[in-house]
Amino acid sequence: MSTLDTWEQRPELADVEAAVRTLIRWAGEDPEREGLRATPERVARAYQAFFAGYQENPAELLATTFEEGGDFEDIVLVRDIRFESHCEHHLVPIVGVAHVAYLPAKRVVGLSKIARVVDAFARRMQIQERLTSQIAETIHQVLQPRGVAVVIEAQHMCMTTRGVYKPGSTTVTQRWIGRLRTDANLRNDFWQGVGSRSRDGT
């Protein structure tokens, strides 16, 4: 995915606000109306928060690991990590939860770092399939565990508020690496930990 490397390469704030005013006019409103006068600035600030992930290096978030796990060899699972992202096709929200597990190889990482990796990738323009793979591959490459599993369940506003208008529909994506891909018993342990025993984890 091609991205701009620095803030210096990006448009000036005045250009962003002008673009928002254009969108407001295109929608049929007057950007100079009292209630909308400060909207372009607010939208610019909101976009900085929505897409803050471009300013983070997810791999660096996992750089500090610990050996205090000793001989712990079972699954480490952080489930129900809530995230907000934006569909790159319509720039509308994707809201969901990620369940992330890894099978340590001697070293473990702080649990909050797993959630931060999810956020670092989610706060970009995304599709759910790529988001799932990016989280899993980064954990695999940096921690080099014996296995990784990432399952994401999310609602896409591009499906629920426009287009086919299907509120309540949920998209589920999965990425399995190493022993969590090849060992059916470990996959079953993962699903039991997530609390989704009825799903097929293969």
**Active site members:** 87-90, 128, 156, 158
d(CA 188, CA 192): 6
Among 147, 151, 69, which residue's Cα sits nearest to residue 118?
A: 151
Sign of CA dihedral 71, 73, 79, 81: positive
d(CA 104, CA 150): 15
d(CA 82, CA 55): 20
Q: Rounded to a whole number, what is the largest CA-CA distance in the chain?
A: 64
